[in-house]
Amino acid sequence: AMVGKGNHRHYMLKEIFEQPAVIGETLRSMWNPASGIIELPPVDIDLAAVSRVTIVACGTSFLSGMVAKYWFERVARIPVDIDIASEFRYRDSPLEKGGLSIFISQSGETIDTLAALRHAKAAGQKTIAIVNVPESTMAREADGVLPTLAGPEIGVASTKAFTCQLVLLACLVIATARARGAIDGAAEARLSNAIAEVPSRAAEVLNGDEGIQALAAQVAEARDVLYIGRNTGYPIALEGALKLKEISYIHAEGYAAGELKHGPIALIDETVPVIVIAPSDDLFEKTFSNMQEVMARGGKVIFLSDEKGCAHIGDAAWGTIALPAVHPFVAPILYAIPVQLLAYHVAVLKGTDVDQPRNLAKSVTVE
Ligand code: AGP
């Protein structure tokens, strides 16, 4: 099917701006607005009986899996093992009986993830594929399929597929928590309500695009950029760095904020922008103090937080991006958006081929 760019300059920007709509689509496939209850499409897997979850994927899809690990463990109280597919498929790790393996892929065709799925199936795991292409090979071969409804993603840099994966995984985590009796009705309602708000909150984040664009000029001058975060903000830091590398060709790294002082802080000087993912949550103070260590060494901080968090830092940062205040459970979905926009605007300033970055293919079907 032909997909146009609409009035956007690039597919990537169009796809970023589609997120409130396609997140809403994906959510509606799993959430009954009348009851407010999350109901997964039928998969022939007994979630109550799952003793362990293994998540396998590549690239950005791997990073949505990493967010899900934090969610599964904290909310559903289920241990999660996660690996990138190219390692998992040759690692030959012992897979527990009664285990559920989840494979996440936009295309459903990534060769390493497909091989990992076949390996897990042969080892007796129940398998779920989370794919954006419903007729893909992974969708055909897995025991169960949970489709993201992001629609065709043309830009090589994944954006809307990622946030739709996150929304879907959040719903899967809640359904698993309920099946296992790990969550009571009131807690479930709080999380479900937080998810239901994501499409409108995502639209608010997109309204802040101009402010993000204004920060891009300074980031475009940098040779290296660091992204830091804790908990589910850590995979978002990794995703921000991946986006920037892919499309702007600026060297970027994501780190767990608490790991900074174990090495990477040596990189900090006044030429290094540090993007801090800091929603108001139970780890805010910790991330904040890591940020102060960066500022003390001259690092140029771009601080992403909500109103309360931004008030905390005042005008001490080089730049701030204020996001709506949301339940910490859904924060990673919303904080994904400004890091996409920042990478996009930096790449445009650099004059790169945003939708078709050098050396990359949309779907990696060879090893
Ligand atoms: C993301 O921006 C990348 N281009 C890449 O990391 C991608 O997420 C990865 O190749 C996995 O693809 P898939 O989701 O189609 O399996």
Q: Which residues does the chain have with pLDDT short of 70?
A: 1-2
Q: Is the CB of 340 under 6 A from ligand 1?
A: no
State if residue 137 touches ligand 1 by the CB under 6 angstroms criterion.
no
**Ligand 1 proximity of 85 Cβ (cutoff 6 Å):** no
Burial 270-285 (b: 16+ CB within 10 A, else e): eebbbbbbbbbbebbe
Q: Does the CB atom of residue 158 touch ligand 1 within 6 A? A: yes
Q: Is 14 a catalytic residue?
A: no
With a 6 Å cutoff on the Cβ, whether 148 touches ligand 1 is no
In single-letter form, the type of residue at position 22 comes to V
Measured from the Cα of 362, ligand 1's closest atom is 4
How many angstroms separate the alpha carbon of residue 100 from the centre of ligand 1? 22
- Alpha-carbon separation of residue 303 from 51, 94, 287, 294, 319 (angstroms): 39, 41, 11, 12, 6
Element of type H or E holding 206: helix 198-207
What is the pLDDT at residue 2? 67
> What's the 299 CA to ligand 1 centre distance in angstroms?
30
Give the pairing type, strands 126-131 and 319-323.
unpaired
User: 82-86 contacts: CB < 8 A, separation 24 or more?
Assistant: 82/54, 82/55, 82/56, 83/54, 83/55, 83/56, 84/56, 84/57, 84/58, 84/112, 85/56, 85/57, 85/58, 85/110, 85/112, 85/113, 85/115, 85/116, 86/58, 86/112, 86/367
Report the pLDDT value the prediction gives residue 150, as an integer from 0 to 100. 98
SS3 state at 221: coil
Model pTM?
Answer: 0.97
Contacts of 8 (CB under 8 A, 6+ apart): 14, 17
**C-beta of 354 in contact with ligand 1 (< 6 A):** no
- Nearest in space to 353 (alpha carbons), one of 265, 247, 252: 247
Determine the atom of ligand 1 nearest the C-alpha atom of 157: 2
Residue nearest to atom 10 of ligand 1 (CA): 59
CA 179 to centroid of ligand 1, rounded, Å: 31
pLDDT of res. 315? 84
The residue nearest atom 7 of ligand 1, judged by CA position, is: 59
Q: Is 363 in the pocket of ligand 1 (CB under 6 A)?
A: yes
Pair 27, 198: CB distance under 8 Å: yes
pLDDT for 1 equals 52
Span from the CA of 136 to the centroid of ligand 1 (angstroms): 15
The CA distance from 304 to 315, in Å, is: 13
